[in-house]
Amino acid sequence: MIQKNIVTRFPPSPTGYLHIGGARTALFNWLFARQTGGKFILRIEDTDKARSTDEATRAIIDSMEWLGLDWDEGPYFQSERYDIYNAAIERLLSSGQAYHCHCSSEDLEKRRKSAMAKGAKPKYDGKCRELGLGPAPGSVVRLKTPHTGTTQFNDLIKGSIRFNNEELDDLILKRSDGSPTYHMAVVADDISLGITYIIRGDDHVNNTPRQIQIYQALGESVPQYAHVPLILGPDKARLSKRHGALSVLAYRDMGYLPHAMLNALARLGWSYGDQEKFTKEELIEKFSLENVGKSAGVFNMEKLQDLNAWYIRESADDILAKGLIPFLEKSGFKNLDKEKAKDAIATLKIRSKTLVDMAESARFYFEKEIIYDEKADNKFLKPDMLDLLLNLQARLEQTSIFDQEGLEKTFVAFLEANQIKLKKVAQPLRVALTGKTASPGIFEVMEVLGKEAVLERLGKAINHIRDKA
């Protein structure tokens, strides 16, 4: 499998954000290139001027960068490469492999419809094929394709795929406005960039024989193809906007780690035995087109979430801090104490599914004033706890060692003296310190908060209980 000079590419059209299907295609191309020591090229297919935007280009690049999919060349912009396409069209024209066609698009549309109505495949009828017409305003250039025989290729994922040439028609290479069509631009670009492996979505299978015919007409060697099955929505229909969050960047904003995303994307359609989790290095080492499945799959958000939770647990605190702080800032906590944030993260990481989640549960650490959850307040901050809490307050005031170990010792003594179980004070204290009934371990919370804040919050809770009585 290790070959030199392997070149792959990812060619999104900047008509929208990068969605998870595109991201997976990019990932597979990237993995294949990295694994073989080849090159990975980014090319922006912006020949459709009406629909392409700079904003979309930006979003695609941001997404790639967030995922860590770096490219060796590019981004190339097709809109800047018309010379290459025009040269190819000229070559085809002068060798008689292409011809000028004067049929109008309205006319063609009519003929397509009537063919469909008759139950035939709507294809160009070849009206201008043998007319030997020259260029004219409004005319296009078409490829003169073979009518007989078959066009076949060996797909690296799906195996041998064969089309009867009579199914294919004379596709347009150059539009009436002079711009190249998608097929022409892709093939000319892939030739000029030396692409050897084309890994793309399943929806291009039908385009492949047409593109192969262009390679053949140009006398160029055809690259290897690998068509990756599409990603479907939960309703098994093709993924679309109505399925919700599709943009890669949306997952970033929901607090997913890029590596979790990468791992989830890789495992959608590809597998390596029973292994579920892969480092980037393992992905590069173990990926293979051979192990990409043939059938379309549904993107499983729950699995992504599980993966994300796992990677959060595994990540170092300072790395998580970098990711988390923007989310905390977004919810209004500016100029945070980074050390405290790191300590907070250490207590939160095993119980957070996403960074958004974590930022939410971290609030109490940074909040000036604890707001008690109503139910928690009613259940645990009751007058009959007053004596015990006062007793605890007194004892904590005497305590100088405020780390988990020291606190545990203090509590053991305190519990023994009062003949109670930890359970009895832990919940009221938790509510006093965090406002909620669920939080990290009580000693962890106390250590991160520090003696001063603990006593302050405990004091407030005591006053709050007194107000009730």
| Residues assigned a catalytic role | 241
Alpha-carbon span 193 to 322, nearest angstrom: 38
* H and E: helices and strands count for the chain: 18, 12
Shortest Cβ 368–RNA spacing (Å): 22
Residue 25 binds RNA (CB under 7 A):
no
Q: From the list 45, 190, 343, 447, which residue makes contact with RNA (rule: CB under 7 A)?
A: 45
Number of residues that bind RNA (CB under 7 A): 84
Q: Which of residues 185-214 bind RNA (CB under 7 A)?
A: 202-207
Alpha-carbon span 81 to 86, nearest angstrom: 9
Whether residue 10 contacts residue 41, with contact meaning beta carbons closer than 8 Å, is answered with yes
Stretch that binds RNA, among 127-135, 306-314, 324-332, 453-461 (CB under 7 A): 306-314
Q: For the residues of 212-258, what is the DSSP string, one character each?
A: HHHHHHHT----EEEEEPPEE-TTSSBP-GGG---BHHHHHHTT--H
Whether residue 96 contacts residue 277, with contact meaning beta carbons closer than 8 Å, is answered with no
Helix (H) or strand (E) holding 332: none
Shortest Cβ 397–RNA spacing (Å): 21
Stretch that binds RNA, among 1-9, 213-221, 266-274, 337-345 (CB under 7 A): 266-274
Burial bucket for residue 464 (CB in 10 Å: 0-12, 13-18, 19+):
middle
Q: From the list 29, 47, 97, 315, which residue makes contact with RNA (rule: CB under 7 A)?
A: 47
Binding mask 341-380 for RNA (x = CB under 7 A): ---------xx-----------------------------
Closest CA to 233 of 220, 245, 249, 248: 245
Residue 159 binds RNA (CB under 7 A):
yes
CA angle 41, 186, 192 (to 5 degrees): 60
Whether residue 77 contacts residue 61, with contact meaning beta carbons closer than 8 Å, is answered with no
Residue 218 binds RNA (CB under 7 A):
no
Which residue, 58 or 313, is less far from RNA as judged by CB? 313
Q: From the list 128, 362, 440, 465, which residue makes contact with RNA (rule: CB under 7 A)?
A: 440
The CA R_g of the chain, rounded to the nearest whole Å, is 32
Whether residue 157 contacts residue 205, with contact meaning beta carbons closer than 8 Å, is answered with no
Residue 288 binds RNA (CB under 7 A):
no
Q: From the list 70, 167, 314, 337, which residue makes contact with RNA (rule: CB under 7 A)?
A: 167
Residue 273 binds RNA (CB under 7 A):
yes
Chain Cα centroid distance, residue 265:
7
Which residue, 119 or 219, is less far from RNA as judged by CB? 119
User: CA of 285: how far to CAs of 35, 152, 195, 218, 231, in Å?
Assistant: 6, 31, 22, 36, 24
Which residue, 14 or 38, is less far from RNA as judged by CB? 14
Q: Which of residues 119-158 bind RNA (CB under 7 A)?
A: 119-124, 138, 140, 158
Burial bucket for residue 256 (CB in 10 Å: 0-12, 13-18, 19+):
buried
Shortest Cβ 271–RNA spacing (Å): 4
The torsion of the CA quartet 399, 401, 406, 407, rounded to 10 degrees, works out to 50
Residue 397 binds RNA (CB under 7 A):
no
Name the β-bridge partners of 222.
none
Alpha-carbon span 150 to 146, nearest angstrom: 9
Q: From the list 110, 147, 162, 338, which residue makes contact with RNA (rule: CB under 7 A)?
A: 162
Shortest Cβ 459–RNA spacing (Å): 20
Shortest Cβ 84–RNA spacing (Å): 15
CA atoms within 13 A on the CB side of 227: 20
Q: Which of residues 407-436 bind RNA (CB under 7 A)?
A: 421-423, 426-427, 430
Which residue, 36 or 78, is less far from RNA as judged by CB? 78
Q: Which of residues 78-117 bind RNA (CB under 7 A)?
A: 78, 103-105, 108, 112, 116
Shortest Cβ 5–RNA spacing (Å): 25
Q: Which of residues 446-465 bind RNA (CB under 7 A)?
A: none
Which residue, 83 or 467, is less far from RNA as judged by CB? 83
Alpha-carbon span 7 to 28, nearest angstrom: 13
Which residue, 39 or 267, is less far from RNA as judged by CB? 267
Shortest Cβ 335–RNA spacing (Å): 28
Q: From the list 220, 276, 317, 456, which residue makes contact with RNA (rule: CB under 7 A)?
A: 276
Shortest Cβ 337–RNA spacing (Å): 23
- DSSP 8-state code for residue 144: -
Q: Which of residues 62-81 bind RNA (CB under 7 A)?
A: 78
Q: How far apart are the two ends of the chain, measured CA to CA in Å?
A: 78
Q: From the list 90, 154, 438, 468, which residue makes contact with RNA (rule: CB under 7 A)?
A: 438
Q: From the list 218, 284, 298, 386, which residue makes contact with RNA (rule: CB under 7 A)?
A: 298
Shortest Cβ 108–RNA spacing (Å): 6
The CA-based diameter of the chain, rounded to the nearest angstrom, is: 106
